[in-house]
Amino acid sequence: MSASKNSTQLHGDYVFYQSMNKHHLRQQAPLRQQRQQQFPRNQNSLQMGWALSNKLGCSIVKCTTENRYVGVCRYSPRGNTVNSTIYQVGNPCSLNPGNGATTCNTAEGLWS
């Protein structure tokens, strides 16, 4: 697992790779969260979404016949910079992102 650090790029990247079958791959997300709680000093993973990140794309592909899967996420603008804000404090739907969104789903707190 790796993530770009100290990048001069305007976007961030997150890359994950591991050998496993499809069933095992689907089970990994909750297990990863448990591992992060058990090992909080693990520096190999970074939060992808930050206050100003408004673009995210992810893909997982099988690259070989040996059950090797690679996952890549790219997000922009990048976060994890010194003195950057992870998120803005406020009530859901209280701030329109100004990107053409006109409606906010109050149950989810997401603009569209």
What are the extents of the domains in the chain?
Answer: 2-111
**Of the candidates 84, 85, 74, 70, the residue with the CA atom closest to the CA atom of residue 12:** 74
Could you tell me the CA-to-CA distances from 82 to 59, 73, 75, 85 in Å, in that order? 28, 21, 18, 9
pLDDT in tens, 48-64: 667 777 888 888 888 77
Amino acid at 89: V
Within 10 angstroms of residue 47's Cβ, the number of other Cβ atoms is 14
Banded model confidence at residue 103, pLDDT cuts 50, 70, 90: very high
Amino acid letter for position 72? V
